[in-house]
Amino acid sequence: MTGPVLKLQPPDVAAFAPYGDLVLPPEEPGARRFYSTALHARGETSAPVLHVNNVAPQALPLAVTRIERHPFAAQCFFPLDVSRYAVMVMPSDTEGRPLPDRALAFLMPGTIGVIFNPGVWHLGATVLDRPGHFTVLMWRGGPMQDDDFRTIAPLTLIDPMDPLAGA
């Protein structure tokens, strides 16, 4: 394994909150959960873009060397046909550079979606086990580019059941 090792954690609404929202189904039949407030941060001249992607599976342990962020709008991933997927997030320093030493990683089931807040550094769509499909919603357009990709020193994501994960 290369670089620091991050054990994938189970989904945790509180731990993820500084980076966005986990999209959970309501517990009661007929109930709704609203996530609309996450959609309001965007450029005035941007427009919503909705697409479905097809993601090839990756295996754990996974060396991560590339991350992304969208400074001006939230990005939403809703699993359509996904077994499990890895989510990694990290804060920025005061200059907007990623802080890999403060990264968090989660092992998500295909029943929970993710909304990344504007400006959050994150791993791109990464499915495990088999190919997967997400519906992705974000905003594009306007005078400012909203895709920022960075190469980072390798971080290794491991399965929580991996013996190297420790206690």
Map tokens 């909150």 to a residue.
17
Give Cα 129 distance to the centre of its chain.
17
Q: Spell out the domain ranges in the chain.
A: 5-26+33-162
Q: What is the pLDDT of residues 22-63, one digit of tens each?
A: 999 999 999 999 988 888 777 677 788 899 999 999 999 999
Sign of CA dihedral 147, 153, 159, 161: negative
Q: In this structure, which amino acid lies at residue 92?
A: S
**Nearest one of 117, 119, 126, 104 to 150, comparing CA atoms:** 119
Backbone angles phi and psi of 71, in degrees to 5: -60, -25
CB 73 within 8 A of CB 115: no
* Predicted pLDDT of residue 3: 81
Q: Residue 67's pLDDT is what?
A: 97
- HSE at residue 62, side-chain half, CA atoms within 13 A, is 25
Please state, in angstroms and rounded to a whole number, the distance separating the CA atoms of residues 86 and 126.
6
pLDDT at 1: 63
What digits encode the pLDDT tens for the residues 15-26?
999 999 999 999
Burial profile 109-123: b = 16 or more Cβ within 10 angstroms, e = fewer: ebebbbbbbbbbbbb
Residues 115 and 72: their CA atoms lie apart, in Å, by: 14
Which among 2, 94, 108 has a CA at the least distance from the CA of 55?
A: 108
How buried is 7 (Cβ within 10 angstroms: 0-12 exposed, 13-18 middle, 19+ buried)?
middle
- According to CATH, the superfamily of the domain at 5-26+33-162 is Ureidoglycolate hydrolase (2.60.120.480)
Instruction: Provide the token pair at 2.
Output: 């290369």
Query: Which pTM does this prediction carry?
Result: 0.90
132: tokens are 């997967």
Answer for the pair 128, 57: CB distance below 8 angstroms, yes or no: yes
